[in-house]
Every structure is written in structure tokens, then in C-alpha cells.
Amino acid sequence: TRLIDDDEGGVLFVPAPPSSSSSSGFGHSSLERQRKRLPVYKHRDAVLYLVEHHSTTIVVGETGSGKTTQIPQYLKEAGWAEGGRVIACTQPRRLAVQSVAARVAEEMGVKLGEEVGYTIRFEDVTNPGVTMIKFLTDGVLVREMMDDPLLTKYSIIMVDEAHERSLSTDMLLGLLKKIQRRRPDLRIIISSATIEAKSMSNFFNIRRKSLAQDAEDCAPNKQPAILSVEGKGYAVEIHYVEEPVSDYLQAAVDTVLLIHEKEPPGDILVFLTGQDDIDAAVKLLTGHGQQYGSHYSDLLVLPLYSGLPRGEQDLIFTPTPKGKRKVVISTNIAETSLTLEGVAYVVDSGFSKQRFYNPISDIENLVVVPISKASARQRAGRAGRVQPGKCYRLYTEEYYLKEMSPEGIPEMQRSNLVSCIIQLKALGIDNILGFDWIASPAPEAMIRALEILYSLGIIDEDAKLTSPTGFQVAEIPLDPMISKMILSANDFGCTEEIITIAAVLSVQSIWVSIRGVKKEFDEAKLRFAAAEGDHVTFLNIYRGFLQSGKSSQWCYKNFINYHAMKKVVDIKEQLHNLMRRLGIAVKSCDRDMQAVRKAIIAGFFAHACHLEEYSQNGMYKTIRSSQEVYIHPSSVLFRVNPKWVVYHSLVSTDKHYMRNVIAIDPSWLTEAAPHFYQLRQPNPIPY
Ligand code: ADP
Ligand code: MG
């Protein structure tokens, strides 16, 4: 039988039976049996055939069908990792990278970091020359192109979770299309849960006129093949709320308790938006356990979000003990990236946290926004993996039908493009507008980004990367404003302090969650608080941590997140190495905090704000676009309200809040970026 109609790039449907319930195996042979039960196993030969004969293969299949964990193994078994070549599989999320790599290593019975490894930013768990299957974030793969533009060490690149349309995935797809022209031997697999397979296929379709010529070279078919893995889930009964809920967090908690009371066994998966509300829900649910005694003590409540320590991640995948009911409270990472066995109930808040950038105000932040219908369907599907399930939507049916948008907006179209542009430029792509985007970014966002890059001295009048600054910034795997801050620290003699600050800013938060013990927490914070602001406070905390001998006890006492601090130490070490590579000496300014603040401004002058003294309630306005902003309550400058500040990032809830704020002298702004302020301000800064 023909596997596929090559000319049409047609769709192959092979229905597969639902995968049966599986207890997580221990021995290797039981894992082997589990592998064979996955829907994708039926398509093993088809996958290998298509990959052999087509430059690009698109694999569409339901979450949990085995795409991520199995396909790389099939490819390895078929010899694609022989002769020192590597099979790459990208994920948009770091946590997913770590988790699937660990799983695949376990299935193959090898130590993680040897035949199977992973790379995420600041963490490389691979063994060059030994690693055959490498999981990595799409962002890291784009970065690898700077050293190896044609990605020559890879025989196959599987771009996974393509439906997520992350900024880096979109960049990667455009870049891979270019690489493919130069490397006919390279195979690309694009895989996802739901996808506009046709549009993806059109994107990779190279015009016929080149086909005849390629045929002579015995090159693979340039037309993408599409393979559909029909992992048939069980029916999921959908329940809606009758009236809109005002507090989805409380509603989610109530729903979990209701399910637990009324419904037969089966784990519960709750979709909330981020660490804050997830931690709050965990507290509420475990609080119930204590309050009501034995009835709820059989709930095993677990959070799931990126940044979760390894040990806690593993609990998520451990089978639920007998007599217990697992409740996993997750961000949208459990929507398609990770599959949890045993889930029979899904509680969907209807929200997720997404990046949004407004090029007019030049404000990018993480906002809680309604999900799309496509996401809602994915979430519901998680309830029907092993048995018929139920999904409780915390929004009305009318809302779902009439107001929810059918698809999400690609991240490309709602992001600040500064990093993306630097990376493309570092890869020699100067005409960014002419780049082969799968969906074009907004021109306003592009212009804004170019303007910022110019003011940071990263690009010149011709929009080319400056030397050395622009090229050095491109080498540092951090936000360009942070990279610029680090490079400028060299001029102020405070690289040591600034890379510490950069490391702290790279972890989510070094404080532990504060609910319930507000007073003690505030006292702890005061112990480290510096009048200059949060960045200097970080230096005090870092010093304290080192002096304590990196003690977890010390962290506990001071409401500091021990895992985050260990990560900080680790990232700092890597930044040290990077500085060495860039030929920059790491020097301390010996508590000259003015130098530190000036270095911060060199990167973040665009985030300067001025206190509106008449406002009485601590309102600031950004110098740039006169946006109203406020100091976040977590900042040591909350209620202190210095006249002039520079912030690191904004979070928006009811207002725009500045997180990580430092007090400055306004004259430093014009010093750091005269052109920026003078060009934009008809009347220069009002002193
Ligand atoms: P897909 O990529 O198609 O969504 P995966 O390859 O991620 O599917 O998952 C296939 C199966 O492997 C799922 O049934 C899932 O439960 C199981 N699995 C994946 N990761 C783990 C893990 N860390 N621990 C236990 N089981 C896992
Ligand atoms: Mg997957």
C-alpha cells in the first residue's frame, strides 16, 4: 500500500484504538509495553517513511499520543543519529524540555545527559559526541545558529508544539526554511496537537520549478507530507457555569471540592494562569484539608508551573497513591506540552497569562487574558485520556459560543521584538521586514524595536549591529536591556555587582510566596532593604546568602526561595564565563552604588518614570509615553516613592505596576542616552 499521495501532500488517517489505562511501569520491559500502546506506535513505519522521503513532515496528533517522546526514539532506532549526528526536538517551554528528556532517557534506560540530553538557557545537560537525542527550547536552537548557522550537527530537527506559535518557534520556522535550501540532507518534522496543517505545509512548500532540478540530485521530495495520528480520546462531558463568576480562583477551588465530594475517583486538573494564583489555590485547598479534617486529607494537591523545582515536578507524574485523589493546579503547560495520566476531571478557569506588547506605549507585560476556543477544547480533552471525563468551565456557554475567539494570536504579533531583531541581525538577516515570516509582525512594533536598539547603541544609522556592542549584546542570552546594562557595567567598574543583579532578574522571584504571613515577610524584607531600591537590595540578599554558606535554613528564616538562590549562583557563574569569553574583566565597585545605578540606567533608561507629586497616591508617569504606573507592593520602594525611578518590568492587574525599581538622579538619564530623550521630548526633561 502507498503510505501517502506524494503529489498532494495528502493526509493519512489511520484510526488507532484509544490507549488503555497504564500504570506507570518500573521495569524496562513494562515501559516497552507502554510505548507500544501509544497511538503513534501504529504510525512508526509511516513516520520513518515520510521522513526519509520528504524534507518536511508535519505530524498532527492529539496530546498524549506519543509524538514528543516516541518519534525521536523511532528516528534514532532507524539510524538518524549515527555517525555523530544528532536528532533535535524543540519545545517552547523549558519545563517541558526537562520533563520529556527525563522521560525519554528513562524509556531508553540511559542516564539523562548521555545518549539523551537537553539544553535550556543556562543549563546544558548533554554530552557532545555521545548525545544522540537532544531536547531543547526553540530559543536555544535559534541561538545555536550563531555558532553554526546551518545547524550542521543535526540530521533532523523536530519543531514540536508548533501550534503554540511562540515567538521563537516562528523565528525558527523561518530560519529552518532558509537552512533547508542550503542543506537538502536536513529533515524537518513539525509536530503539534492542533494545527493549521495546510498553512504550515504551504509555508514549507517550495515552488515546483525547482523540483525537477532537485529530482536529478535524488533529493527528498520538497513537498511537505502531512501525517495525522488519530489518538481517539474518550468523550468529555462539558459543564458551564450558569452565571459568570467574579473570582475564578475561588470558583476553581469550590469546584474541586465539589468534584471531590460528588464524583467517583479520578484525578483533577485545574487550569489557572500563573505561579501566584496557583500557589494561592494550593494554599486554599490544603487549608481546607486542615480545617475540615479527614474528609479532604485524601486530596493530594500539587502545583505545576515553569520554575517549579525538579523534585516537585516529578511528583506530578508519580501515580496517585491508592485512596487518594490528585489535584494538579497548572498553567497552560498541561494544555498540550505535558500529559498527566489518570486525569478524569478538568476545571478550566478560561484564562491564561500571555505576553502583550503595546508599541504605542512601549509597554510589554504578562497579562491574564481569556483563552481561545482552541485552547478551551484542548483543556477539556485532557479529561478524556483514560476514561470518559468531565470538564467544568468557569464561564458561561454563551460566552464560549459568542465571545471566545476561535484561535489565539501568535506571540510574534503581541511581543516586543527587540530580542528577535538582534538575533536575526546577528544571523546576517538585515531586512527584517522581508524575512520569511509565517505571520508578519506588526510594523509599529518593528519600528519601535529598531528605535530602542538604536538608542541603546546596538544598531547604527543603517540598522546594522554595531561593533563591538551590538555583536556582544547578541552573544548574551538575556534581554538586550540587561545585556547592555552588563556591558556598560564595565565602564563603571561594577561588572561583579551587575552580573549578580542580572542573575537575580533572570529567576522568577527570590522571595517565597507571602500569603498569610504578611507582617513577618515585610520585616524580613526590611532586613535587606536598600534605600536605592530593589536591585541594590538583591545585592544585600546575595551577600547574606553567601555569608550563610548558602544555607537553606537561612533562606527559610528570611522568606527567601532557596532554589531560586541556588539558581542565581549558578547563572552568575555562567555569566562569569561569558564575560571571560567576551574578554571583559569582572570587577567589583566596592559598594559604590552610584556606579551600579548608572550601569542599570545605561540599559534601562527607556523605563524611566517621574512621580506625579499632585496625585497623592504614588502615581508615576513614564517619561517616554506618559503612561500611568505605580510601584508594585513587593518593591522595597513601595510607599517610599522617590521622585525619579527606573523599573525593570511591568505587571498589569488593575493598574500597571513597576516591579524591581531603583531610584535615580534624572541627570543620569540624559547622560546615558542624550539622543533618546532629546529627540523624543519636545521639552527636555523637566528638572
Ligand atoms: P504527545 O507529545 O503526543 O503529547 P508524549 O510523547 O508527550 O505525547 O507522551 C506520551 C505518553 O508518555 C503519555 O501517555 C504520557 O503520559 C507519557 N509520559 C510522558 N512524559 C512522562 C513522564 N515524565 N512520566 C510518565 N509518563 C510520561
Ligand atoms: Mg508533546
Tell me the C-alpha distance between 64 and 208, whole Å: 36
Tell me the C-alpha distance between 27 and 592, whole Å: 59
Best CA proximity match to 174, nearest among 453, 357, 440: 440
Distances (CA, A) of 319 to 21, 31, 305: 12, 14, 19
Q: How many CA atoms lie within 13 A of 395 on its CB side?
A: 17
Contact between residue 77 and residue 65 where contact means Cβ atoms under 8 Å apart = no
Residue-level pLDDT at 5 = 31
Please report which confidence band the pLDDT of residue 678 belongs to, taking 50, 70 and 90 as the band edges. low
Q: What is the mean pLDDT of residues 269-298?
A: 80
Please report which confidence band the pLDDT of residue 488 belongs to, taking 50, 70 and 90 as the band edges. very high
Distances (CA, A) of 611 to 81, 304, 374, 425, 663: 59, 38, 43, 37, 11
| ipTM confidence | 0.98
103 in ligand 1 pocket by Cβ < 6 Å?
Answer: yes
Contact between residue 503 and residue 572 where contact means Cβ atoms under 8 Å apart = yes
pLDDT digits (tens, 9 = 90+) for 113-168: 999 999 999 999 999 999 999 999 999 999 999 999 999 999 999 999 998 899 99
Ligand closest to the CA atom of residue 100: 1
pLDDT digits (tens, 9 = 90+) for 205-244: 755 444 444 444 556 888 888 898 877 678 999 999 999 9
Ligand 2 centroid to residue 642 C-alpha, Å: 48
Residue-level pLDDT at 372 = 93
| Cell of residue 574, nine digits | 555562567
pLDDT digits (tens, 9 = 90+) for 419-469: 999 999 999 998 888 898 888 898 889 988 998 899 999 999 999 999 999
Tell me the C-alpha distance between 571 and 566, whole Å: 9
Helix 480-492 with 593-604: angle, nearest 10 deg? 140
Please report which confidence band the pLDDT of residue 601 belongs to, taking 50, 70 and 90 as the band edges. very high
pLDDT digits (tens, 9 = 90+) for 299-325: 999 999 987 777 788 888 888 888 899
Q: Is the dihedral of CA 413, 415, 418, 424 positive or negative?
A: negative
Residue 619, phi then psi, degrees to nearest 5: -85, 135
Q: Which residue has the higher pLDDT, 438 or 677?
A: 438
| Cell of residue 111, nine digits | 542516564
Best CA proximity match to 174, nearest among 156, 161, 162, 192: 162
Q: Which atom of ligand 1 lies closest to the CA of 338?
A: 7
Tell me the C-alpha distance between 660 and 363, whole Å: 15
How do strand 619-622 and strand 628-631 relate by DSSP bridges? antiparallel
Q: Which residue has the higher pLDDT, 334 or 508?
A: 334
Tell me the C-alpha distance between 21 and 68, whole Å: 19
68 in ligand 1 pocket by Cβ < 6 Å?
Answer: yes
Tell me the C-alpha distance between 58 and 79, whole Å: 20
Percent of the chain at pLDDT > 90 equals 64
pTM, full prediction: 0.88
Q: Which of 42, 69, 161, 191 to mutate to test the pocket of ligand 1 (most atoms within 8 A of CB)?
A: 69
Ligand closest to the CA atom of residue 62: 1
Q: Which residue has the least CA distance to atom 21 on ligand 1?
A: 103
pLDDT digits (tens, 9 = 90+) for 502-529: 999 998 889 886 556 678 888 888 899 9
Mean pLDDT over each residue of the chain, to the nearest integer: 87
65 in ligand 1 pocket by Cβ < 6 Å?
Answer: yes
341 in ligand 1 pocket by Cβ < 6 Å?
Answer: yes
Q: What is the mean pLDDT of residues 643-650?
A: 94
Q: Residue 340: how many CB atoms within 10 A of its CB?
A: 19
Residue-level pLDDT at 243 = 92
pLDDT digits (tens, 9 = 90+) for 45-103: 999 999 999 999 999 988 889 999 999 999 999 999 999 999 999 999 999 999 999 99
Output the CA angle 216-74-382, nearest 5 degrees: 120
Tell me the C-alpha distance between 22 and 341, whole Å: 8
Cα-only R_g, the chain: 26
Alpha helices in 396-547 (DSSP H): 397-398, 418-426, 443-455, 469-475, 480-492, 495-506, 518-528, 534-547
Q: Which of 90, 107, 339 to mutate to test the pocket of ligand 1 (most atoms within 8 A of CB)?
A: 339
Residue 194, phi then psi, degrees to nearest 5: -125, 140
Q: What is the mean pLDDT of residues 370-390?
A: 92
Q: Which atom of ligand 1 lies closest to the CA of 19?
A: 14
69 in ligand 1 pocket by Cβ < 6 Å?
Answer: yes
Tell me the C-alpha distance between 67 and 229, whole Å: 9
Ligand 1 centroid to residue 221 C-alpha, Å: 31
Contacting residues for 53 by C-beta, under 8 A, at least 6 apart: 6, 220, 221, 225
